[in-house]
A = this chain, B = another copy of it.
Amino acid sequence: MYRHTRELQFTAKPEKPDALFAAKFQELVGGQFGEMTVMMQYLFQGWNCRVPGKYKDMIMDIGTEEISHVEMLTVMQARLLEGAPGETTAKAVAANPALAAVLGGQNPQHAIVSGGGARPTDSLGNPWNAGYIVASGNLLTDFRSNVAAEAQSRLMTSRIANMTDDRGVKDMLAFNLARDTYHQQQWLLGIQMLIEDGFIETQVEQSNGEWENKDAAHVFYTGTDGSRAGEGLWATANSLVDGEPLRAEELRPLTDDQGVLPAPDPLQFVTYDGNQGPGKPGNAVGGVAQQAENVVTKVKDAITGDKH
């Protein structure tokens, strides 16, 4: 359960409003790597975590902090929009002609939709969507996604910070940059902790690893003519999983399978020249029949009590 305190986590006061900058600032609120993304990603990972104690608490803690970050950013956003041009263009330009420059770059939905408040969108108005986040239940893969999100988020915050001289904005972003620095480490150390606690053996996701194609796990394939990629550590170091040497090979087909497809169902009107023989309606014959047969047999067995 959650509770709220009126004070923000950190001060969010710009020196002065700036509608142009506010349009760009939206990227930090509702962009692909904005704070809504880490907030929702950590909340879902936390609720879905099956290791109570330090792991679940840690994810819950950061999820809770990120709600507070979105709050800070929305307050900053609304303050940046104070007095933003939202009225009759002609009048505005008459009062101060250079304002025309601002008129082009501001976000019209800040005036039309949110009345001078933050929008749950990125800097080009794309609504935030849950296709940005993941919560897989597997802490290694999720921590990997989290490091990535924090690194990208920090880079974008950094780029945006360079677009303003406003000390108030920069002070808050100096805090956010630091949190992203810290959080990157948090997730990297989290992976190290998973190893120390015996949840994983290496930092590489290797579920079902016992039957993967061992050879293909050690090769870099060069698909570009004259590629120099074989010079990199990824082709000269040893495997982080089993210590065997990695190597580069030229990308080439490992099969003579040319991807020829089976005969189609004639009732679906797929263009076909008969090269795989006549197709049959997909109602109870062909491969499906085999699949269905298994089911039928089993239903019958269950009823008659017969066991093969």
Contact check, B83 vs A253: say whether CB atoms are below 8 A apart: no
User: CA separation between A273 and B285, bound complex, in Å?
Assistant: 46
User: CA separation between A224 and B52, bound complex, in Å?
Assistant: 13
User: CA separation between A96 and B100, bound complex, in Å?
Assistant: 14
Contact check, B74 vs A288: say whether CB atoms are below 8 A apart: no
Please name 8 pairs of A and B residues whose Cβ atoms are closer than 8 Å in the assembled complex, sorted by A.
Answer: A5-B225, A27-B112, A48-B78, A50-B270, A96-B288, A116-B264, A174-B213, A199-B273
Contact check, B137 vs A130: say whether CB atoms are below 8 A apart: no
Contact check, B302 vs A303: say whether CB atoms are below 8 A apart: no
Question: What mask results when residues 77 to 121 of chain A are scored 1 for a CB within 8 Å of chain B, else 0?
Answer: 011001111111111111111111111111111011111111111
Knowing A131-B132, A213-B178 touch, does A186 contact B103 (C-beta < 8 A)?
A: no
Contact check, A246 vs B4: say whether CB atoms are below 8 A apart: no
Inter-chain contacts of A32 with B (CB < 8 A)? 113, 131, 134
The 3 A-B residue pairs with the shortest CB-CB distance in the complex, in nearest-first order? A83-B286, A104-B104, A115-B137
Contact check, B1 vs A2: say whether CB atoms are below 8 A apart: no
Q: Would you list which residues of chain A between 238 and 287 have a CB under 8 Å from chain B?
A: 239-241, 246, 251-265, 267-273, 275-276, 280-287
How far, in Å, is A236 (CB) from chain B's closest CB?
A: 9
Quick one: which of A85, A196, A214 has the most chain B CB within 10 A? Answer: A85
- The reply on A38 being an interface residue by CB < 8 A is no
Q: Would you list which residues of chain A between 42 and 84 have a CB under 8 Å from chain B?
A: 43-44, 47-55, 57-58, 60-65, 67-68, 70-72, 74-75, 78-79, 82-84
User: CA separation between A292 and B94, bound complex, in Å?
Assistant: 12
Contact check, B155 vs A145: say whether CB atoms are below 8 A apart: no
Contact check, A102 vs B104: say whether CB atoms are below 8 A apart: yes
Contact check, B96 vs A209: say whether CB atoms are below 8 A apart: no
Closest to A259 in B: B75
Closest to A276 in B: B50
Question: What mask results when residues 151 to 162 of chain A are scored 1 for a CB within 8 Å of chain B, else 0?
Answer: 110111011111
Inter-chain contacts of A87 with B (CB < 8 A)? 162-163, 265, 267, 281-283
Inter-chain contacts of A86 with B (CB < 8 A)? 159, 162-163, 265, 267-268, 281-283
Inter-chain contacts of A83 with B (CB < 8 A)? 262, 265, 280, 282, 285-289
Closest to A177 in B: B212
User: CA separation between A282 and B23, bound complex, in Å?
Assistant: 16
User: CA separation between A131 and B127, bound complex, in Å?
Assistant: 6
Contact check, A98 vs B295: say whether CB atoms are below 8 A apart: yes
Closest to A301 in B: B97
User: CA separation between A81 and B56, bound complex, in Å?
Assistant: 19
Contact check, A192 vs B96: say whether CB atoms are below 8 A apart: no
Inter-chain contacts of A50 with B (CB < 8 A)? 261, 263-264, 270-273, 275-276
